[in-house]
Amino acid sequence: MSKIVIVGGGVAAYRALHRILELDPLCDVTLISDEDRPAYERPMLSKELLTSDKPLRSLGVRGSFPNLTQLFSTRATKVDRRQKRVLLDDGCEISYEKLILATGSRPRRLEVDNPTSERLHYLRTAVDAEKLRPFLCPGNRIAIIGGGFIGLEVAASARALGAEAVVLEAQPRLLARVAPESLSTWLHDLHKKNGVDIKLGAQVDQIAEDPSTGGMIVRTASGEIPADAVLVGIGVLPNVELAVDCGLDVDGGIAVDIHGRTSDPYILAAGEATRYPLERLGLLTRSECWTTSSDQGTIVGEAALGSLGDGYREMPWVWSDQYEASIQYLGLPLTASRMVTHPGESQNAWVDIAWDDAGRFLGAIGINSGRQISELRRALRKGLPIPAKFGLETQATL
């Protein structure tokens, strides 16, 4: 019997738990989560959970496992590597033989936020989504600070529900941190067509409550935006503090190998808090990516039981659904020096394909092009060249 402790309650933690229980149903395993329920499909929070009556899809454990303990609404506060134990916020201690850190990320806070207001929202957990949802209704206006994926998905959800949406982005274009201009421009047009008011270069100076209306006011250099609610979506920060405090190697994320092994042989890590190697591309990266967290979780579950398979060899792959559009983001296209746009298989479909000067395929962005992205993902994972059908004689410099 092996005593495994998992810190975290998201998809990486639960995929690890599922794999451990699949391989060893009698395993003595304890999961510690600061959320109030088992993991769920977090991508639903900004989309289906806001716009439909579909229940949140759970990733919880099905079946009975005699040596499984799940501690919810509980925070791990310290890892004592010498004595191999985890300290909890309720004062308890849990010893481990193998520890899995799947601590995920948290929303980056706006410096000028107004944390006492019930109308100011961040969106990371099911509880956050449940609080936000009632504000997305006809007649209401929501101000969204941050023109990234979360902000734009909530804007699309707000419009689907008949609410007004204003997006305030500090950069000169949407998704400036992660997207090429082609995607920024396309998304800008998509949201404009759907009635979203987009304000670029809008640095927020203050978020205040408006006592005359009971609503909120967002103040920028170019004016005031009244809103019934404010959503802040300006990125996430990896939860690496436990790892830093106990002296693990951390460099922008908990340093792991393709099996999720950290610098301590008794500690593994998976998911958004990790910085991991993409061996095919010769790069280290940290991903904010549901599929990566899911796959890495399964791998560290195996590794915690001493089974090392092929390790993580997939590529980061993010999807975003906005209105009727499917946006897919594969690999690391922004590290490329060259990118070309290939027409998709239907109207309103296209694929940007990216590679470097050495001819290495590095990633792609697809709009309504799931089939092509599937094919490109296989090529990227296997280290193959870009499939010939994409005809790259029309190369263009990024």
Partner 1 sequence: MTVMEETWIDACGVADIPDGGMHHFKHNENWVVIYHVDGDFFATDNICPHAFALFSDGWLEDGLIECPLHGALFDIRTGEVKRGPAECAVNTFKTKVDGDRVLCAV
Give residues in contact with partner 1 (CB under 8 A): 41, 43, 48, 57, 59, 290-291, 294, 317, 319, 321, 326, 370-371, 373-375, 378
Own/partner pairs for 92-95, CB < 8 Å, 24+ apart? 94/5, 94/30, 94/32, 95/3, 95/5
Beta-carbon count within 10 A of 94 CB? 18
Distances (CA, A) of 28 to 3, 92, 315: 5, 17, 32
Residue 62 to residue 74: CA distance in whole angstroms? 21
Q: Please choose, from the candidates 224, 301, 286, 213, the residue with its C-alpha nearest in 3D space to the C-alpha of residue 256.
A: 286
Q: Which of 229, 219, 226 is nearest to 142 (CA)?
A: 229
Q: How far is the CB of 20 from partner 1 (least distance, A)?
A: 17
Contact 314, 291 (CB under 8 A): yes
State which residue, 105 or 320, has the beta carbon closest to partner 1: 320
Q: Identify which of residues 245 and 324 has a Cβ nearer to partner 1 in the complex.
A: 324
Choose between 2 and 291: whose C-beta lies nearer to partner 1: 291
Distance of closest approach, residue 283 Cβ to partner 1, in angstroms: 22
Q: Nearer Cβ to partner 1, position 48 or 181?
A: 48
Q: Which amino acid is at 10?
A: G
Q: Encoding tokens for residue 185?
A: 């421009």
Shortest distance, position 327 Cβ to partner 1, whole Å: 11
Looking at the Cβ atoms of 226 and 370, the one nearer to partner 1 is 370
Query: Could you tell me the smallest distance in angstroms from the CB atom of residue 122 to partner 1?
Result: 23
Rounded Cα–Cα distance for residues 164 and 197 (Å): 8
Q: How far is the CB of 332 from partner 1 (least distance, A)?
A: 18
Our CB check for partner 1 shows the closer of 43 and 301 to be: 43
Cβ 374 to partner 1 shortest distance, Å = 3
Alpha carbons 366 and 368: distance in angstroms, whole number = 6
Letter for the amino acid at 150? I
